[in-house]
Structure 1
Amino acid sequence: MFKIARSTFTMPFLPGSIGFDQVDNEYLAQYCLTERWTGDLSNGLFQLGERAARLHGLEQRNCGLLNLVRCYTAQDRSHVLELFEQAATISSSFCFSTTIEAGGTPRQPVMCVGESMGLEQRYAGAIIGVFIFPRFQLDTPGTVVPQQ
């Protein structure tokens, strides 16, 4: 799944603007890990959370886009790069799902939802989003490995 849409929101969602109670949060945490990330379009750097960086096989939380997507399934990399390229040129909302394939470890499904904003001036703006990691990993096709 690779989707991008021009953002039609007059205002981005603000923390606390959507009802999400503790029970919802517990259900979400039961099935997946989530972590926010940001991207600065003026310098091309992304800042990931500690867990997202580790699951992407990165030693540092700051990285460029190519370092971020290098662990994604080979056939998905170009789609994800194209999606980010489009999001960097016009304020938009986007989502994608793929699999992280770090050599020698079980494959980790990942979903991402984000939006870009502040692109009125050239080489400015930001991209923000959240990574969603289901609490399971894929070993070989057809085999599921529970995540500890």
Structure 2
Amino acid sequence: MFKILKTTAPLNYLPGSLPFDAIEPDSLAQYCVSEPWTGDMGNGLFRLGERTAYLHGLARSECGLLNLVKCYEATDRTNVLEIFEQAATSCSSFCFSTTIMTIGGPKQPVFCIGESTGVEQKYSGKITGVFLFPNFQLPSPFPPMSRQ
């Protein structure tokens, strides 16, 4: 699933606009790990949460886009890069889902929802969003690596 929409209308749900009892963070935590992230289009760096960096196989929580997507399923990388490119050129809302691939380990499904703002001027703006990691993994297509 890969979707991007240009946005010009104000959001229907601004932070704090939903009554507290309509938001159930415990329900979400029962099914997945979620963590916010940001991207600065001025310097091209993404700032991930600690768990998100770990699940993407990154040693640091700050990275470039190519480092972020290199663990994604090969057939999805181009689509994800195109979504981020479009979001960097026009204020947009987007979402995608793919799988994080690890050698010899399980595959981790990942969902991303985000939006870009302030991109009207070249080399400006930011992208913000949330990564969702379901509390299950898929079998790896690769055989486990043997250690000698």
Query: What TM-score, normalized to structure 1?
Result: 0.89
Structural mapping, 1:84-123, within 5 Å:
84-123=84-123
Other-structure match for 1:144: none
Match of 2:75 in 1: 75
Distance of 1:22 and 1:56 partners within structure 2: 31
1:1-148 matches, within 5 Å, as 1-10=1-10, 13-21=13-21, 24-140=24-140
Q: Deviations over 1:80-116 (max 9, x none)?
A: 0000000000000000000000222210000000000
One-letter amino acid of the structure 2 residue matched with residue 58 of structure 1: L
Q: CA separation in 2, counterparts of 1:20 and 1:113?
A: 21
The alignment partner of 2:24 has SS state of helix
Separation in structure 2 between the aligned mates of residue 98 and residue 123 of structure 1, nearest angstrom: 28
Q: CA RMSD in A?
A: 1.7
Aligned-residue identity in percent: 62
SS at match of 1:138: coil
Counterpart Cα distance in 2 of 1:82 and 1:66: 12
Name which one, 1 or 2, has greater alpha-carbon Rg. 2
More strand by share: 1
Cα offset for 1:11? 5.2
CA distance in 1 between counterparts of 2:27 and 2:15 reads 19
Query: Cα 1:13–1:123, aligned 2, differ >3 Å: closer, same or farther?
Result: farther
SS of 2:28 mapped into structure 1: helix
